[in-house]
Amino acid sequence: MVYNISLYICLAIFIIGLVYKISRWFFLNVSADSKKTDASKRFPSAIKGIILTIFSAKFFVLVKVFFLDIIFQRKIFKENFFRWLTHMLIYGAFMLLLLMHALDNFITSSLFAEYSPTINPFLFLRDLFGALVIIGLCMALYRRFILKSPRLKTNSMDNYAIIILAIIMVSGLLLQSTKIGSWSIYSQMVEDYADSTDPEDIKPLTTLWVKDFGIVSPDIKAPFDTEIIEQGREIHEMSCASCHSRPQWAFVSYSVAKAIKGIALGLDKARIHTLFWYIHFLACFIGLAYLPFSKLFHIFSSPLSLLANSVMDKKESGPANIATRQALELDACTHCGACTSHCSVGIVFEEIQNPNILPSEKIQSLKRVVSKRELGEIGLRLILDGTYMCTNCHRCTDVCPAGINLEDLWFNVREDMFQGDYPEFSALSPLSFYRGLMRDAIPQDDYKRPLLQARESIAANCKLMKDQDKVAILTPVDKELQGSMLLSDQASTFSNCFGCQTCTNVCPVVANFDNPKEVLGLLPHQIMYSVGLGIKDLAFGSNMLWDCLTCYQCQEQCPQGVKVTDILYELKNLAIKNAYKD
Amino acid sequence: MKYSFFLGCNIPARLKQYEFSSRAVLGRLGVELVDITDFNCCGYPLRNIDFKASILSSARNLALAEKENLNMIVLCKCGFGMLKYADHLMKEDPSLKNEINTILKKEGLEFKEGVEIKHLLTVLYHDVGIDSIKEKITKPFSELKIATHYGCHALRPSEIVEFDDPVNPTLFDKLVEVTGAESIYWQLRLDCCGAPLFGSNDDLSMDLTEKKLSNAKESGADYLCDACAYCHMQFDTVQGMISNVRGGNHLLPAILYPQLLGLSLGIDGDTLGLGMNQIDITSIKGFLLE
């Protein structure tokens, strides 16, 4: 009763959840482009795309990906053998358990007429698969909590997945162990199947079962009479053997049953196996109901992402299908951390502690951005900063076992966030080179906007810069600026400047303009003066700072040994830091 | 001669021909390369934003190479400059070194003495040597005029990068000439390619690139030769964009040095990834003496 009610409720939640999650792939907008298409276009376009792919040569690609990447998990295998083994144990053995044991009414019994869960090979295999899943779970715990790979993050969803699987496995194991020794179940079985229920008639069978089948009887104990055992064996062959193999084949449960033999009678009286049975099936059903909302949803979404990415490319696939795929990809992430462990800038997280730098955390944040959760200014800016702190080296995309095209995802979300209210200062660095290469994919106004926004937002704090004459009020030198320039090699050399303007004269950027002051605000030597005088507004506010090529001509040729380029680098760092403060 | 091979971020993602041609050429010249897959960003792109983060990135790479007890070959000049700079600072500033090492120790790494950081060109020039390269040239170029582009971050700041004479460098010219090509003199040869500003100020960046290309062409070059990931993307991909955006006829195709050297060593164009350049350079084979 409880079993059926809870099964149907959980199954209903599971199906509703599945439909809800899948429908979101057609509604969620990951990029600005995807906003141009809606579900009414995306759904038919996806169906059309799937049909066209299946009836084309690409079908063979799908088959190949299905076997190599989904069943065999080639990508994890290449990335890290330990992780591959862990995942194969958990997923492979769990799938086998699901098919052979959980769905035995539908699958196993229709394939094998003789099927009974208590005979071999099923008795042995069930324990074997269970043991393999448990080993896999222990390996996962080891990786996440003992090995502690650098920058691998474990979140509540990762813990949930391990815990729910552990509960299912351990409760199943204990259920089996307590059933092996259970006197009450044995007595019930005898009542149901034996020809006689007279204790004296049954004694030989019971003796055999105590000796060979692990039953803990209240009165029968070793030593056993061989004759009685032989009599018992006859009854056993007649009434029990067709459904019961020896429990030793369930090697893990049997070991546990043996270990708890001393308290087996007490446990049996307390009907402990009923408790484990409830825990076992309820954990299974709760796991099922919550599956669409947990990271275990990747059982569906990751294979789909692998399949979709194997046959889609930027040029051929329409924007509607790309929009759907990107929404699906957000669900396909298993938070396994492969991307983070290969991330080119992952190490930066140790210095700039914004978790959004790490791709595995970035995608979690993107899920929140895309589902329009309230993140606040700080939250949004951290995500934008994190997404821009990326050299587009493509490694995350290459290693992702779910086949997610992370690089495209970063690019699209970044562009979308760029059109928001907050400046992104990292845009004023060579990190923008990749965006430059992609400029044809971005509308022209949208392309320039974040670059201007970042410059203007820094300059907005530098009031003196806006003053045409730049007349500074005579005040004592501001030592704060000079004191904060400690990072690079001999930044304090600015004080050696004697005003020869060589830096400005050799600067190729200055030389590029007829009226450089108008475009650049200040020239390199003027910036050196400003630092000498400690005038922050001038040191931070000019375009020159952001238009510096860092070609080191100025520094190389300075007769006074002023580290002009390094000072400009340092000023850029400080200007950005100050702009964040404001 | 055994080195760890530092590719950086751009080459594996966008400039595989630089990796392919370098491996082919170095293999032919008896240089053994060891791949350290754990290498990360050199730190160069982060320097505008957070100096310490950029030093940390560099230092991690240096510590990884040191762990393997291998000197390093860098292909990109910006990466080379950054690693040299970080190496210099780590040696000069004990408190910075301490601070960085505290972070690196979390993953079992440490910057101790550092390793020698070499650019592809300095390995070819100093370690392999012009003479041994010359012996292996089987198909020299003739009548080919090359505008040799040195690249800022290899040359300057000279006391840190120690690449060549910053005012009158000759190393790259000699390497170009060993292939039989002529390395012409051109006024802007030591200037910046414009790449550091591409993406953040495209107009200015393109101005500088265009100027250099016109100057090289006016000076009689048939091709421009470079040996840096950023410079090459600028002279190849971005040059293509300049032609689209601004029109004009200043097309001067750029070839990576290992592609040039590889051809004269008799390595075929496919191995050197000639076809992977954005601007077609396959006609350079016409300058090879059979």
Task: Grade residue A474 by pLDDT with cuts at 50, 70 and 90.
Answer: low
Min Cα distance A269 → chain B (Å) is 53
Q: Is B249 a residue whose pLDDT tops 80?
A: no
Segments in chain B forming alpha helices (H): 10-14, 16-28, 51-67, 77-92, 94-105, 120-122, 130-136, 152-155, 158-161, 171-177, 202-218, 229-233, 239-246, 257-264
Average pLDDT rounded to a whole number, residues A108-118: 91
Min Cα distance B159 → chain A (Å) is 9
Chain B's closest residue to A549, CA to CA, is B196
252-271 in B: which are within 8 Å (CB) of A?
A: none
pLDDT at position A470 is 67
Interface contacts (A, B; CB < 8 Å):
170
Q: Pick from A150, A343, A431: which is nearest to B45 by CB?
A: A431
Q: Which amino acid is at A405?
A: N
- Other Cβ atoms within 10 Å of A144 Cβ, number: 17
**pLDDT, tens only, B203-236:** 999 999 999 999 999 999 999 999 999 999 999 9
DSSP conformational letter for A514: S
Q: Pick from A431, A489, A565: which is nearest to B89 by CB?
A: A489
Whether B89 sits inside 8 A of A346 (CB atoms) is no
pLDDT at position A488 is 60
Give me the DSSP letters along A135-165: HHHHHHHIIIIII--TT----HHHHHHHHHH
Average pLDDT rounded to a whole number, residues A92-115: 94
- Helix, strand, coil % (nearest 5) of chain B? 55, 10, 35
Residue B25 touches chain A, beta carbons under 8 Å? no
Q: Which residues of B touch A340 (CB under 8 A)?
A: none
Q: Which CATH class is domain B2-118?
A: mainly alpha
For residue B33, the cross-strand partners are B3
Q: Which amino acid is at A82?
A: F
Whether B9 sits inside 8 A of A508 (CB atoms) is no
Average pLDDT rounded to a whole number, residues A255-276: 94
Q: Which residues of A touch B12 (CB under 8 A)?
A: 393-395
Average pLDDT rounded to a whole number, residues A55-67: 95
Whether B195 sits inside 8 A of A432 (CB atoms) is no
Instruction: Give the mean pLDDT of chain A.
Output: 92
Task: Grade residue A553 by pLDDT with cuts at 50, 70 and 90.
Answer: very high
pLDDT at position A476 is 66
Q: Pick from A352, A451, A576: which is nearest to B200 by CB?
A: A451
Q: Pick from A344, A425, A573: which is nearest to B41 by CB?
A: A344
Residue A305 touches chain B, beta carbons under 8 Å? no
Chain B's closest residue to A543, CA to CA, is B201
Residue A547 touches chain B, beta carbons under 8 Å? yes
**pLDDT, tens only, B6-47:** 999 999 999 999 999 999 999 999 999 999 999 999 999 999
Residue B238 touches chain A, beta carbons under 8 Å? yes
37-66 in B: which are within 8 Å (CB) of A?
A: 40-41, 44-53, 56-57, 60
Q: Pick from A350, A425, A512: which is nearest to B103 by CB?
A: A350
* Residue count of chain B: 290
pLDDT at position A90 is 97
Copy the structure tokens of residue B189. Answer: 């040869």
**pLDDT, tens only, A480-537:** 777 777 666 566 788 889 999 999 999 999 999 999 999 999 999 999 998 888 888 8
For helices A319-332 and A406-418, the axis angle rounded to 10 degrees is 110
| Least confident segment among A152-161, A237-246, A272-281, A501-510 | A237-246
Q: Is A110 a residue whose pLDDT tops 80?
A: yes
Whether A393 sits inside 8 A of B201 (CB atoms) is no
Whether B208 sits inside 8 A of A489 (CB atoms) is no
Q: Is A205 a residue whose pLDDT tops 70?
A: yes
Whether B51 sits inside 8 A of A569 (CB atoms) is yes
Q: Is B250 a residue whose pLDDT tops 70?
A: no
Exposure string over A524-562, b if 16+ CB within 10 A, otherwise e = bbbbbbbbbbbbbbbbbbbbbbbbbbbbbbbbbbbebeb
Chain B's closest residue to A551, CA to CA, is B152
| Least confident segment among A3-7, A147-151, B175-179 | A147-151
Whether B46 sits inside 8 A of A431 (CB atoms) is yes
Residue A442 touches chain B, beta carbons under 8 Å? no
pLDDT at position A322 is 92
> Cα–chain-centroid distance for residue A302?
11
> Cα–chain-centroid distance for residue A367?
11
Domain edges within chain B: 2-118, 130-287
Do the bridges between strand B2-6 and strand B117-119 make them parallel or antiparallel, or are there none, so unpaired?
A: unpaired
| Complex ipTM > 0.90 | yes
Residue of B46, B211, B232 for testing the chain A interface, max A β-carbons within 10 Å? B46
**pLDDT, tens only, A12-28:** 999 999 999 999 999 99
Give residue for tokens 């509604």: A27
The CATH code for residues B130-287 is 3.40.50.11810
Average pLDDT rounded to a whole number, residues A450-474: 82
Residue A478, phi-psi category: left (phi > 0), alpha (psi -120 to 50), beta (remainder) = beta
Task: Grade residue A40 by pLDDT with cuts at 50, 70 and 90.
Answer: confident
| Least confident segment among A56-70, A210-224, A434-448, B270-284 | A210-224
Q: What whole-number percentage of chain A has pLDDT above 70?
A: 98
Min Cα distance A388 → chain B (Å) is 11
Q: What whole-number percentage of chain A has pLDDT above 90?
A: 76
Q: Which residues of A touch B196 (CB under 8 A)?
A: 430, 549-551
- Please check whether residue A563 is in contact with residue A488, taking contact to mean a CB–CB distance below 8 angstroms: yes
Domains of chain A from N-terminus onward: 36-67+296-332 (no CATH), 335-459 (no CATH), 465-581 (1.10.1060)
507-526 in A: which are within 8 Å (CB) of B?
A: 508-509, 512
How far apart are the C-alpha atoms of B208 and A155, rounded to whole Å? 48
| Least confident segment among A228-237, A341-350, B82-91, B106-115 | A228-237
Min Cα distance A424 → chain B (Å) is 11
- Please check whether residue A488 is in contact with residue A555, taking contact to mean a CB–CB distance below 8 angstroms: no
Q: What are phi and psi of A272, to 5 degrees?
A: -65, -30
**pLDDT, tens only, A309-357:** 999 987 778 889 999 999 999 999 999 999 999 999 999 999 999 999 9
Min Cα distance B208 → chain A (Å) is 8
Residue A565 touches chain B, beta carbons under 8 Å? yes
DSSP conformational letter for B74: E
